[in-house]
Each structure stands twice: as structure tokens, then as C-alpha cells.
Amino acid sequence: MDIASVVGILAAFGLILVAILIAPGSSLTAFIDVPSILVVCGGALAACLIAFPLKSMLGMPMTIKVVFLNKATDYAALIKQIVSLAETARRDGLLALENRIGEIDNSFIITGLQMAVDGTRPDAIEDIMRTEMDAVATRHRDAKAVSDQMGRFAPAYGMIGTLLGLIIMLGNMSDPSSIGSGMAVALLTTLYGAIVSNVLFLPFSEKLGFLNKQELLGMEIIIRGIMAIQSGENPRVIEQKLRTFLPPAVRAKMDAEK
């Protein structure tokens, strides 16, 4: 569970709710309007259906799930594992790594090791692994694009809903006392659009981008490690190379654990 995402969502909606409740003369029911919700959410969803293939839209729930349920990459543990594999290769040869594949749960490491054990050319190994890395980045970018567009379309449909409300209100001016309430309802769609965009989908998009960078960094570390193992470099040299990807605080922690 990504606690930051959960706390952020609850805090955002909680602050909005508190602001409504403590404002003089305001009531929660005045901020609830079903037609406005339909215009903003339904309109933004319909626009995304036009902009993206159905397959991308059907994958949207799983994409949002990643925002709340994800596992941060432990780069220090990843480097330790690669160094351990390098020590085995240096001591017993590359073929000995085949016996250790069963203890590895990272499919990307397994792919690289298997090719190295099979005697694949170094340039071919790197090319295949970087192609897979690019494919992962492309899939993540496509998933993130849906959230990006929902965040852009929601305010636009909020404005459309406001314009619709104003047109309806101005078309019925026989009762001047209803103008104030009519204006308030018309403005609700703009509010809903801003909330849906800035509390939900744009933050979702930023979190997906952050998670993508984390995963790609882990894959880059693996590629560098596999190539170093394949070329027979000293495990200590490999460790020093891979540690350059880590912030100083993490390096200091790794040194303290030795």
C-alpha cells in the first residue's frame, strides 16, 4: 500500500470538506449536484474514449490501482544481488550462474543471465535488454497518457457545464430570486472539474511518472550489472559502478551494514 497516495487523497478531500463546513452560511448539500457530476466525469470519460483505443481505457482501473498498490524498488538489495552473482561468476565461471537462476525473482535479471550463460554476444544482450526496457517505458507512457488527458478534459467539461447552467438560468429570468441559486449550481461544474483534475488525475499521472522512473532506474542498474558480469569484471568494481546510481545517504547505509 502506498501510504502517501492514500494520505494525500484523504487530506485533499478532508480539507475541502472542512472548508465547506466551517464557512459561514454554507451547507454540504449545496455542493452536491448530480447533473454537474455527470457532465464532468461522464464528459471527460467520453472524451478519453474518443482520444484512446478501448483497450487503453479498459486498463485504466489497473493503472489507478498501481498508484495505491506498488512496491518501491530496493536498489541497495538489487546491487547486492548483482554483486553476489558476479562473485559466483568470477569464482566458478559464467555457467555456474545457471544454478542460481532459480533463486532470482526478477524476470529482467533472469533474462540477462540466461543470455550470458548461453554465450550470447555482449552487444546482442545489451540490445535485447534495452529494447525490453524501451518497451516497458512505452507501456507506462501510454498508461500515464490516459490519466494526463482525464486531468485536462475534466476542467474543460467543468467549464462546459457552467456554460450550460448559465444558459439555462438566463433563459428562465422570470423569477429573479432564483438567479443566485442558479448561478451557484452552474459554478459547481467548474468546481468539480478542478477537483477531479487537481486532486485525482493529474496527481495520479505524476505518481505514475515517478514510479516509471524508479522502475527504469532499476532496469538500468541490472543492464549495467549483467554486462559487467558478462565481461568478467571484478565484483568490487561492479559494486562501485552500480553504487553511483544511489544517493549518498543510501551508500552510507550500505557501508554501515557491511
For residue 216, how far is the Cα from the chain centroid? 12
Find where cell 554465450 sits.
Answer: 119
The single-letter DSSP state of residue 100 is G
Among 90, 133, 142, CA closest to 112: 133
Measured between alpha carbons, how far is 78 from 218 in angstroms, rounded to an integer? 8
pLDDT of residue 176: 65
Report in angstroms the alpha-carbon separations of 156 from 10, 43, 60, 161, 178. Answer: 25, 9, 20, 9, 26
Q: Residue 193: is it exposed, middle or buried by C-beta count within 10 angstroms (0-12/13-18/19+)?
A: buried
The pLDDT tens digits for 173-214 are 666 665 666 677 778 889 999 999 999 999 999 999 999 999
Considering the entire predicted model, what is its pTM?
Answer: 0.84
| Domain segments of the chain as ranges | 1-32
Integer Cα distance of 83 and 90 in angstroms: 10
Kindly state the percentage of the chain with pLDDT values over 70. Answer: 95
24-38 pLDDT tens trace: 877 788 788 888 888
